[in-house]
Amino acid sequence: MSKSNFNFRISVSSQVNLALNSILFLTLFFLTGCFAEPEYPDTPQIEFVSLQNLPSQARTNVDSVVITLFFQDGDGDLGLTSTDTLPPFSERNPDGTVNRFRNNFFAQVERLEEDGEFRPVTFASENFNLDSRFPVLNTLEKETALEGDLRYSLTLFTTSFSPIQKDDVLRYKISIADRNLNVSNEVVTTPMTVGVYDE
């Protein structure tokens, strides 16, 4: 199972799109201009929209998974830059433990077991996870409400070294955090079967 890959796109109110390389694909709406700003909570809120499982364009027997979320945030303080490496976004906490908030996108994969229960997938390295960063979304240099679509993509390799195998049934638990370390609600995707693709 590989690390995730992301792309990033901003749609400003005029629907002009800017494509960037990153680890997320976002459609973002700046809720400004002639319209009254909606009153969203300052803690981000997310909703599960869809999960796609497609064969990889680059390799055979590889699943290319895309998860789409809808998000809202009242003050628009979403995203981290490459220079956000000091507390509270540093790699380690003062006690030496891994700092969760070095990332702002949290994803956990679970597998359906024989007893009918979903349980977290165990990786060979305890340092491996699907968490990652998405970049700063509010470029207006002022507090503003934001909403949009967030697309998270990852690749599953079903090799003998992978904990994921063909016909495994997986689901994902996802949440995000803002720059004030407010963590959103957690959403759970619909299940997907590895190696069985949408038409």
Are 124 and 195 in contact by the 8 Å Cβ rule? The answer is no
Give me the pLDDT at residue 46, please. 95
Structure tokens that stand for 64 in this block: 């290319």
Which residue has better confidence, 90 or 125?
90
Q: Alpha helix (H) ranges present in 20-78?
A: none
The answer to the question of residue 198 being in a domain is no
Structure tokens that stand for 117 in this block: 């229960």
- The count of domains in the chain is 1
Share of the chain above pLDDT 90, in %: 46
Lowest-confidence region among 71-85, 99-113, 146-160, 175-189 = 146-160
The answer to the question of residue 111 being in a domain is yes
Phi, psi dihedrals of residue 127, rounded to the nearest 5°? -85, -10
The answer to the question of residue 115 being in a domain is yes
Q: Can you tell me whether residue 4 is helix, strand or coil? A: strand
Give me the pLDDT at residue 2, please. 46
Position 14 pLDDT exceeds 70: no
Q: How far apart are alpha carbons 182 and 185 in whole angstroms?
A: 10
- Closest Cα to residue 174, out of 111, 115, 132? 132
The answer to the question of residue 55 being in a domain is yes
The answer to the question of residue 151 being in a domain is yes
Which residue has better confidence, 128 or 187?
187
Give the pLDDT confidence of 72-85 residue by residue, as tens digits: 999 989 999 999 99
Q: How far apart are alpha carbons 13 and 76 in whole angstroms?
A: 15
Largest separation between any pair of C-alpha atoms in the chain? 57
Are 109 and 163 in contact by the 8 Å Cβ rule? The answer is no
pLDDT bucket at 22, cuts 50 / 70 / 90: very low
The answer to the question of residue 42 being in a domain is yes
Q: Tell me: cis bond preceding 87? Omega within 30 of 0 counts.
A: no
Task: List the Cα angle 177/181/183 in 5-degree steps.
Answer: 45
Position 121 pLDDT exceeds 80: yes
Lowest-confidence region among 6-20, 152-166, 168-182 = 6-20
pLDDT bucket at 36, cuts 50 / 70 / 90: low
Position 16 pLDDT exceeds 50: no
DSSP 98: B
Give me the pLDDT at residue 28, please. 58
The answer to the question of residue 199 being in a domain is no
List the domain range (segments joined by +) for residue 175.
4-193
Position 24 pLDDT exceeds 60: no
Which residue has better confidence, 127 or 154?
154
pLDDT bucket at 55, cuts 50 / 70 / 90: confident
Q: How far apart are alpha carbons 15 and 148 in whole angstroms?
A: 12
The answer to the question of residue 28 being in a domain is yes
How many C-beta atoms surround the C-beta of residue 170 within 10 A?
22
